[in-house]
């Protein structure tokens, strides 16, 4: 499985080019490392944390910024089985984060406190998917 931890510049530029004044919902799919991989010299390097433990540190440190910009978790779950799709794309965690606007998401990811917390996410995550969605009304149909 190809590793995807941080956004590529072209994808981030495309995100910024989309409307910023409406709500967005971000589907997060995460696979954690067995052992967190902090860079040499970081205070947590060699601490023996699991990827899941390092991700919890990321959540604890970035959570206040997430909430300050109006973010909320709409849904969270623990994936059990990939029924349709590549078997090697099994995930450890999945959730949908909602932001009042795309601008709020951009405010979060550029906040200095958030940026400092990202080192835990980078140490924790083996690969991930982060997919922007435009919310729409829930109903009884699939499309």
Domain spans in the chain, listed from the N-terminal domain onward = 9-80+87-133
Q: What is the pLDDT of residues 80-120, one digit of tens each?
A: 999 999 888 889 999 999 999 999 999 999 999 999 999 99
pTM for the predicted model, two decimal places: 0.90
Question: Which stretches of 6-132 are DSSP H helices?
Answer: 9-17, 51-68, 102-110, 112-124
pLDDT digits (tens, 9 = 90+) for 33-79: 999 999 988 888 878 999 999 999 999 999 999 999 999 999 999 99
For residue 7, is pLDDT > 90?
no
User: At the top level of CATH, which class does the domain 9-80+87-133 belong to?
Assistant: alpha beta
CA dihedral 61, 58, 111, 27 (to 10 degrees): -130
State the pLDDT confidence band at 2, using cuts at 50, 70 and 90: low
Helix axes 112-124, 102-110, angle to 10 degrees: 80
- Mean residue pLDDT across the chain: 92
Using CA atoms, how far apart are residues 125 and 92, in angstroms rounded to an integer? 10
Pick from 50, 59, 9, 57: which is nearest to 31 by CA?
Answer: 50
């Amino acid at each position: 499985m190809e590793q995807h931890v941080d956004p590529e510049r072209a994808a981030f530029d495309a995100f910024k080019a989309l409307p910023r004044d409406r709500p967005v919902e971000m589907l997060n799919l995460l696979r954690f490392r067995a052992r967190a991989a902090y860079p040499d010299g970081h205070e947590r390097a060699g601490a023996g944390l699991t990827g899941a433990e390092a991700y919890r540190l990321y959540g604890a440190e970035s959570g206040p910024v997430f909430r300050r910009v109006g973010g909320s978790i709409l849904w969270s779950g623990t994936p059990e089985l990939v029924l349709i799709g590549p078997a090697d794309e099994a995930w450890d965690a999945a959730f949908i984060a909602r932001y009042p606007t795309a601008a709020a998401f951009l405010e979060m990811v550029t906040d200095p406190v958030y940026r400092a917390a990202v080192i835990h996410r980078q140490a924790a995550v083996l690969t991930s998917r982060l997919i922007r969605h435009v919310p729409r009304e829930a109903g009884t149909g699939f499309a």
